[in-house]
Amino acid sequence: MPSSPESFPPTLWTTILAARDRQSPEYRDRMNRLISRYWKPAYWVLRSRWNRPHEDARDLTQAFFAGLLERDWLATVQPDKGRFRSWLRVVLDNFMRNELEAAQALKRGGGARTLSLDAVDPDPPVEAAGLSPEQVFDRAWAIHVFHETVEDLRDLYRREGRAEWIPVFERHELDRDPPSAAQLAQEMGKKQHEVENALKAARVAFAKLLRARVKETIGEGASVEEELKALAEALR
């Protein structure tokens, strides 16, 4: 499944709405674009919220997205109704409550399309204790978006020939015990103001990429600022 930012259109809603046309020759490609964005949060929710072991959660994730491929679940989604992830969370919960038996049959049926989920982590990153189903899904979504945005920044800096600043940004902004700009400058043999300027530029670039990621999956009437606030709250 595609994973690079270039594989997505300017707004993911374009893909979501177009993917409802199952007769289109581009249907499979559009659905793969959609699935590549949401399969990991769905898997994490199945691990954390539904307490499924790794192999079971992986199979159920395959069955869930096979349902999106083979059925008309997308016919009910509309961008003016709000966030796509909210709709997907409800569909996932309904799938687990009402179609678990069918999912097991689909997994064993032999005729199902399979999806490549080799990169999933055996341990769920979302601790579900004390969280509502909505909070579990939102936290899984937020973690996924955050990690994707970090990878977007890495890709951007590699393309622009600024790869040396990637570990500097990650250490200063993401480490639990981050080094100071002065320490980083000494390690790199650069002046402190050069490191400070590079960190500022990286933060601006990261914020821009994060906004772009968030904007892809909100409806026409939704606010990017509200979604960013929701993402920050979920990460807490």
- Over the stretch 112-164, which tens digit does the pLDDT of each residue have? 444 444 445 555 556 666 777 677 778 888 888 888 899 999 999 999 999 99
Between helices 133-159 and 224-235, what is the axis angle to 10°?
A: 110
CB 66, CB 31: distance < 8 Å = no
Instruction: Please tell me the predicted confidence (pLDDT) of residue 137.
Output: 79
Per the structure block, which two tokens stand in for 50? 């539904």
| Separation CA 110–CA 200 (nearest Å) | 53
| DSSP, res 113 | -
Task: Find out whether 134 and 49 touch, Cβ atoms under 8 Å.
Answer: no
Q: How far apart are CA 104 and CA 110, in angstroms?
A: 11
Nearest 5 degrees, angle CA 165-CA 214-CA 58? Answer: 90
Q: What domain range includes position 180?
A: 5-235
Give the pLDDT confidence score for residue 6 in this predicted structure. 34
- Our count of domains for the chain comes to 1
Within the chain, which residues score under 70 in pLDDT?
A: 1-20, 22, 78-83, 98-129, 133, 217-222
